[in-house]
Structure 1
């Protein structure tokens, strides 16, 4: 377990931890022993007072912050709730979208097809994502694009559903990509590459950058 912290630790002080989460690992334990292994359970095995602040999907990699005391947890969680944090992701998507734009359509859980989520214009909670194309190239003979994604809201599966909604799903996505898109990568090519928030004690803005592994 200590090796996990050595490999994934980005930053640590008396109040918080910032971790580079690997793809394929849950942020928090699921239901049942088979889904207990997670970033949180591994950290708590090393540092029992580790507390959850936010999550990434199991197959998404990148920056996650955890608190080491209740006041820090409350302070940072409130920043996420009030949209005071800065989050930037990188993804590789199918096809070649326009240079930049936004997707402004609500995302909600699809009870008929769990664990899928869907874009539903009639759902009452908004979901907004900005995207910008960084590069366009061929992968296994297929046109793909590297994009920067900025979620303004934080709905479950938001980035994955929004890119599918504009017909450019993220490659390697076993839930939302096309069959061809799934074959282009053995992992979901979505990575939380930048995270900024205010330190709960010092009041300083902390900014972390973690380049994608793809």
Structure 2
């Protein structure tokens, strides 16, 4: 058994033992959880467990299916449909770009702008066929330094479109790869790359009221930032309002 598969099994056991602590939102149609890093969303080669399988077992609902996906190493808010109505409602909102997804990303390097939108067409990274226009909004929260005076920037990231690996590819395009994302050129190491879906807003099927959930930042994200020195606060309010796992 590989170390990564062993870790995914440990995560599965943690979820099964304390499911309520992972739940961010629940109604008859939808379940939103704070996904830990290290477990794949769906059955994957090399892994004996997946988050979908764990939640199906824990909720005794074989119809439970993900409404969208996060990479195995990405943590944070993710929604599952418990019913066909729930999945259909979420699918409609994704098509219409009604869902707001905000991430935190720690990147290696200094952010040179106040805020901005990146919208390149990157063939083969974001779209495996011809490449599609994709847009991501970035806003800096804080800048850090490590003991060797390497610079890091904590970014608030908003997905304006939803392509595969979009945030990771766009930051690599800017030559600011996410910390520990070796696939996209990061020279820094950690137990996982530091990308977290922090906030998610959507309309549940049973209500026209928008629901906003906040996923506390994972401990394995914090262990990296805790070892850095805050060099500059671009957005002190955002920095000090972040919610962390206990």
Match of 2:8 in 1: none
Task: Tell me how far 1:212 sits from its aligned partner.
Answer: 2.1
Q: Do the aligned partners of 1:15 and 1:68 also contact (CA within 8 Å) in 2?
A: yes
| 2:39/2:72 contact within 8 Å kept | yes
Which residue does 1:152 correspond to in 2? 160
Distance 1:119 1:11 in 2: 31
Aligned position for 2:244: none
Runs of 4+ residues over 3 Å off in structure 1: none
Among residues 12, 18, 38, which one is paired with 2:50 in the alignment?
38
- Residues 16-68 of structure 1 show CA distances to partners (whole Å, capped at 9, x for unaligned) of 1110001111111124xx33411111011122231221000111000001111
How many matched pairs? 201
TM-score, normalised by the number of residues in structure 2? 0.76
Change (3 A) 1:36 1:200: farther
Following superposition of structure 1 onto structure 2, how do residues 4-153 of structure 1 map, counting pairs within 5 Å? 5-31=19-45, 34-47=46-59, 48=61, 49-97=63-111, 98-109=113-124, 117=125, 123-141=130-148, 142-153=150-161
Residues 165-204 of structure 1: matches in 2 within 5 Å? 165-179=173-187, 181=188, 183=189, 185-204=190-209
Q: Aligned in 2, Cα 1:144/1:170: closer, same or farther, shift over 3 Å?
A: same
Deviations along 1:109-161, one digit per CA (max 9) or x if unpaired, are 3xxxxxxx2689x9452111110110001134310000011111111111001
- Name the CA distance, whole Å, in 2 between partners of 1:160 and 1:171: 10
Contact persistence 1:93–1:170 (CA under 8 A): yes
- Partner of 2:155, secondary structure, is strand
Aligned-partner SS, 1:131: strand
Contact 2:171 2:177 in 1 (8 A): yes
RMSD (Å), alpha carbons: 2.0
Show structure 2 runs of 5+ residues with no match.
Answer: 1-12, 223-246
Classify the secondary structure of the residue corresponding to 2:182.
Answer: coil
* Distance in 2 of aligned mates of 1:26 and 1:134: 29
Q: Secondary structure at the match of 2:196?
A: strand
Gaps of 5+ in 1: 110-116
Return the TM-score normalized by structure 1. Answer: 0.87
Report the CA distance shift for 1:140/1:174 in structure 2 as closer, same or farther (over 3 A): farther
